[in-house]
Structure 1
Amino acid sequence: MGASDHGFGRLLHAWRDRLAPADAGFPAAPGRRAPGLRREELAQLAGLSVDYVLRLEQGRARHPSAQVAGALARALQLSRAERDRLYRSAGLLPPRDETISTQVPPGVARLAARLGDVPIGVFSADWTLVWWNPLWSALFGDPALVPAADRNLARGLFGSGAARAAVASVRSERGDEVFAASIVADLRDAVARYPADSELDRLVQGLCAQSVDFARLWATGTAAAPHVSERKTIRHPEVGDIRVDCDVLLVPGVDLRLVAYTAAAESSDAGKLDLLRVTGGGATLAPPRPQLESGLDSRGERRG
């Protein structure tokens, strides 16, 4: 049965109308008539084309993938129960409890969206980037332009191509080796918590085959230093080096990490972040998403 047979489009429209623009990180424009998100705003947040969202709502697109359903659930800030209802309305099985979730709870999404003057990224338990704000895009480049499977920090540290380029500009004052070891330790902990997650297993096995350094760290099994607040230097092509404090905040109960970069008020580094906030780092403040039929490539996100 198609998505329209289960009211998928009606759910999308209703939940789009429910979500306040400010809670999704959009400024309130004077004279705005839409009660919630505009269709183009939802498309932008989910990485879909506006036409595809329109056809989903009208029931003309009848078979959304699990990747599309997951992207829409995150964009609409659905609760877990609502996410599962959206999946079932599309004729899909909701994500299993024993696999890593990329669902961002509504409260966390609202909090992150309202901290627009701070670059924020939300990562799942395997260090896959699942949510980011415009200033994150201005600082690091738009993650939506990177294949979804490459938006993983471990792949960035130990892999190549687009994943590597996304993290190449960041240097840790604790030392890159120490930081890399802590990420490997986090993946080892994730494997212990989610032994049934086949995608996590493929990530680890792939990195072991691809990277001698990853394989060495994985094989040693030594305990790494826990994540702490630390100073990092980010080399930006437009404004130069920016020294920032990096804080990793754990979200209890959902196994997410909220990563925030800040600089001391009135410092030159804070001034550079302010400039990026205004200019978008050479891009628009609200980062454009690829205008694809599904919004995700064939290597797209595997979980909702």
Structure 2
Amino acid sequence: MASSRSGFGALLHAWRDRLSPADAGFTVTAGRRAPGLRREELAQLAGLSVDYVLRLEQGRAKNPSAQVVGALARALQLSRAERDQLYRSAGLLPPQDGTISFHVPPGIQRLAARLGDVPIGVFAADWTLVWWNTTWSALHGDPTTVPAAERNLARALFGTGIDRAALRPFRSEHGEDAFVAAIVADLKDAVSRYPADTGLDRLVRHLREASDVFAHHWATSTAAQHTTDRKTIRHPDIGDIVLDCDVLIVPGADLRMVAYTAAAGSSDAEKLEFLRVTGDRTATARP
């Protein structure tokens, strides 16, 4: 087991040195000597403390959880094979086929990181938020204030916990009923494709018991597709901001990339730029 932990730390260090800061969404300044990510940058991306990342690299931190390993794999933009290697080096089984994947391919992370002026959130098939940029945090609030297991859009819409409390008020151009129906239909489709996923089963059972609205849509909804929507989001600092919302499906990864934009020159584009520049500077990007 000691050699396994040592191997885990060596992999972290090697893959941290390999990743370009620009590809991770950081501005590269003149005189930078680190060949890849600094330790504090990896900690920020993974939502961990710098001290914990240091102890992991040195083999002093024992038995990282699957959640921690998954966050590090996403932050390091690992391929699926590399992700599985990182899990095994931590003494953990990699995520199994037939269950929902929270892996975000490196190319998708690079693409989203280079669109920093656009709020972007990446969701898994069960609508768990698995990646976001700082502009998303400025618009919707910092996701790290919500426990990782509860960063789920369906929980926020239909639940009663901290995830719902963190959801900022919004209106959909198509109406709330159409929006929630589409989310429920997505979950029904996910259940049909991932029947062995116990986490998804627990989520659906919880929401059916916690929300009469969810239970009604679960019993009556038919197939529904997300279309381009226009949403009005009530921001605590700038008031209402009206944005086009597009949901882009990532082929082969079963991910949903949600992006918000406004027409150039519009007052809403000015508000979005204000948020990008002066928004919640304490917010973190990417779990």
TM range (shorter): over 0.9
Letter in 1 for 2:190: A
Note the alpha carbon deviations across 1:174-210, whole angstroms, 9 max, x for none: 0111100100000000000000000000000000010
Relative distance call for 1:173 and 1:52 in structure 2 (3 A) is: same
Alignment partner, residue 57 of structure 2: 57
Tell me the amino acid that sits aligned with residue 170 of structure 1: F
Once the two structures are TM-superposed, the CA of residue 288 in structure 1 deviates from its matched residue by 7.6
Q: Structure 1: which 5+ runs fail to align?
A: 290-294, 296-304
CA distance in 2: counterparts of 1:102 and 1:92, whole angstroms:
16
Is the CA contact 1:2–1:90 (under 8 Å) kept in the aligned structure 2?
no
CA distance in 1, matches of 2:166, 2:78: 28
How much identity, in percent, do the aligned residues show? 74
Q: Is the 8 A contact 2:174 2:229 kept in 1?
A: yes
2:70 counterpart residue number: 70
Q: Which residue of 1 aligns with 2:110?
A: 110
Give the CA deviation at 1:6: 5.1
Match of 1:131?
131
Q: How does 1:62-101 map to 2 (within 5 A)?
A: 62-101=62-101
Residue type of the alignment partner of 1:55? R
TM-score scaled by length of structure 2: 0.97
Letter in 2 for 1:46: A
Q: 2: CA distance between counterparts of 1:6 and 1:194?
A: 35
Aligned twin of 1:302: none
Structure 1 Cα separation of the partners of residues 33 and 86 of structure 2: 26
For residues 288 and 218 of structure 1, the distance between their equivalents in structure 2, rounded to whole angstroms, comes to 33
Aligned to 1:255: 254
Q: After alignment, is 162-171 or 119-128 more displaced?
A: 162-171
8 Å contact kept, 1:2–1:63 = no
Alignment map for 1:179-198 (pairs within 5 Å): 179-198=179-198
Deviations 1:233-282 (CA, angstroms, capped at 9, x unpaired): 0111111110000000000001000000000001000000111111123x
CA pair 48-200 structure 1, distance change in 2 beyond 3 A: same
- Structure 1 range deviating more: 21-30 or 128-137: 21-30
Q: Distance in 2 between matches of 1:244 and 1:29?
A: 32
2:151 matched residue in structure 1: 151
Quote the offset at 1:3 in angstroms: 6.6
The equivalences for 1:1-304 within 5 A come to 1-2=1-2, 4-5=4-5, 7-220=7-220, 222-281=221-280, 283-284=281-282, 287=284
Structure 1 segments (4+ residues) deviating >3 Å:
2-6
**Residues 175 and 96 (structure 1), Cα distance of their counterparts in 2 relative to 1, 3 Å cut:** same
The amino acid that maps onto 1:13 is: H
Q: Is the contact made by 1:3 and 1:63 (CA closer than 8 Å) also made in structure 2?
A: no
Residue 29 of structure 1, CA deviation: 1.8
Q: Please identify, of 142-151 and 88-97, the stretch whose mean Cα deviation from structure 2 is larger.
A: 142-151
Could you tell me whether the CA contact under 8 Å between 1:120 and 1:260 is conserved in 2?
A: yes
Higher mean C-alpha deviation, range 271-280 or range 128-137: 271-280
Q: 1:179 is aligned with what amino acid?
A: F
Across the aligned residues of Structure 1 and Structure 2, the Cα RMSD in angstroms comes to 1.5
TM-score, normalising length: structure 1: 0.91
Aligned pair in 2 of structure 1 residues 110, 226: CA closer, same or farther (>3 Å)?
Answer: same
Alpha-carbon distance in 1 for matches of 2:89, 2:142: 31
| Cα distance per residue 1:14-73 (max 9 Å; x no partner) | 000111111111111221110111000100110110000000001111211111100100
Take 1:108 and 1:206, find their aligned partners in 2: how far apart are those partners?
31
**1:70 & 1:90 partners in 2: Cα distance?**
11
SS at match of 1:23: coil
Give the Cα–Cα distance (whole angstroms) in 2 for the partners of residues 172 and 7 of structure 1. Answer: 49
Instruction: Tell me by how many angstroms 1:5 deviates.
Output: 4.2
Q: Give the whole-Å Cα distance in 2 for the aligned partners of 1:10 and 1:223.
A: 49
Distance, in Å, in 2 between the alignment partners of 1:42 and 1:137 is 18
Contact kept, 8 Å, 1:118 with 1:261, in 2: the verdict is yes
Residue in 2 that maps onto 1:298: none
SS at match of 1:125: coil
Contact 1:230 1:245 in 2 (8 A): yes
Preserved contact between residue 121 and residue 129 of structure 1 (Cα < 8 Å) = yes
- Residue 120 of structure 1 contacts residue 258 of structure 1 at CA under 8 Å; is this kept in 2? yes
Structure 2 gap segments, 5+ residues each: none
